[in-house]
Amino acid sequence: MSNPQAWSSLVRFIRQYYATAEGLVPLHAPCFDQREKDLVTNCIDSTFVSSVGQYVTEFEQQVAAFTGAKYAVAVVNGTVGLYLALKVVGVQSNDLVLTQSLTFVATPNAIKMHQADPVFIDVEPETMGLCPAALKAFLTEHSDQRNGRCIHRQTGRVIRACVPMHTLGFPARIDAILDICNQYNIALVEDAAESLGSVYHGRHTGRFGQLGVFSFNGNKIITTGGGGMLITDDAELARHAKHLSTTAKVPHAWLFEHDEPAYNLRMPNLNAALGVAQMQKLPQFIAQKRQLAQHYQHQPGLVMQKEPANTQANYWLNALMCQDQTERDAFLDWTNSQQIQTRPLWTPMHQLPIYAQALRGEMTQTEWLAARVVNLPSSVVNDA
């Protein structure tokens, strides 16, 4: 790929696609029109701008219906959504939680918020998500089953949960991961932050584990400014998550009674109003993103990440594969100098000083991908 003609051709395509002859082409910008403004104005006029109001419930119902989940719980961001999901599946202080190193820092941070520790497992190049074979190998070598719990053999600590991520919207092999978790008595929580609109074997991501968690940050496929959502088919997990997110307040017309230590994590109605408007456009956004992915895949000289068989990716961010880190860095330098915003994947978590001492398996594929992948501009275009 490393030739000036291929790079120049790509930049010309991006500027033509986004009708931006000069100036910055962002990596991923939100797409708003009058509908969002109208609902936000309605919310302001109602005076219900905090965690009580019609739009929070409506947004939850829309996400549940779209994904096929029975229940949805709206929270203030995806990170606390992961924290809350881990809380209700029983993660405790000193537990171990399996996850991938190739992820955004919010994933292990949510684990550390419980005073638990992440254990990093390698990913696979086909999905960029947690590798079932690596997961199985780690558990076979390092764990035992005792009294219905999975115990890390060297430390005696409980391996309580597993948090794979659907990287950039490409579904991980979540059915195989679920089978392993069930075999080892490990709770499964899906980090689906980037994968709203992605489907694995006909089923929406986030619906294989006990819970799935989406993010609605400003750079996601739909946004509420800041926000997250837990989905589940388990009525008790949904009830407990919502209860904890609303300070564990016992329902009453006027008394303030709370029955367990809890949190104030409910999504504000103002943010949810944005979400309701955005959900109406989600099918259009997905279709446009998939079309853009096709355009990128047909650009000369590019090797793009493609959705694996039997999956449908939302192509939240399109992923270009470079030959090596030298080419990656040269491409990043050149495109950003042309005001085309491109970005590498996250620094792998095990390479960050804050997580360098965490337990981990081999990181061969994680490090290979991190050295090569570049994300290209992937915003949707406002047709309004």
What domains can be seen in the chain, in order of their start residue? 4-31+281-350+359-376 (3.90.1150.10), 34-280 (3.40.640.10)
CA distances in angstroms from 306 to 2, 48, 243, 244, 314, listed in the order given: 20, 43, 40, 39, 11
Task: Specify the pTM.
Answer: 0.96
The mean pLDDT of the chain is: 97
Contacts with 181 (C-beta within 8 Å, 6 or more apart), sequence order: 162, 187, 188, 209
Read off the tokens for 65.
């219906």
Percent of the chain with pLDDT over 90: 96
Classified as helix, coil or strand, 191 is: strand
Burial of 352 (0-12, 13-18, 19+ CB in 10 A): middle
Q: How far is CA 82 from CA 77, 231, 362, in A?
A: 9, 11, 25
Residue 102 contacts residue 167 (beta carbons within 8 Å):
yes
- For 25, 322, 325, 337, the CA distances from 334, given in Å and listed in that order, are 14, 14, 14, 5
DSSP letter for 246, please.
B
pLDDT reported for residue 2: 58
Q: 356-382, pLDDT tens digit by residue? A: 999 999 999 999 999 999 999 999 998
Burial of 192 (0-12, 13-18, 19+ CB in 10 A): buried
pLDDT at 46 over 70: yes
The SS3 call for residue 341 is: coil
Q: How far apart are CA 274 and CA 35, in angstroms?
A: 9
Please tell me the distance from the alpha carbon of residue 328 to that of residue 331, in angstroms, as a whole number. 5
Distance separating the N- and C-terminal Cα atoms of the chain: 36
Question: β-strands 159-163, 96-100: how paired?
Answer: parallel
How large is the average pLDDT for residues 76-89?
98
Closest CA to 79 of 59, 108, 56, 55: 108
Q: Give residue-wise pLDDT tens across range 239-256.
A: 999 999 999 999 999 999
Q: What is the pLDDT of residue 6?
A: 86
pLDDT tens digits, residue range 304-313? 999 999 999 9
Task: Tell me the average pLDDT across 119-124.
Answer: 98
Question: What is the pLDDT, as a whole number, of residue 186?
Answer: 98
Where does the pLDDT of residue 1 fall: very low under 50, low under 70, confident under 90, or very high at 90 and above? low
Between CA 288 and CA 283 the distance in angstroms is: 9
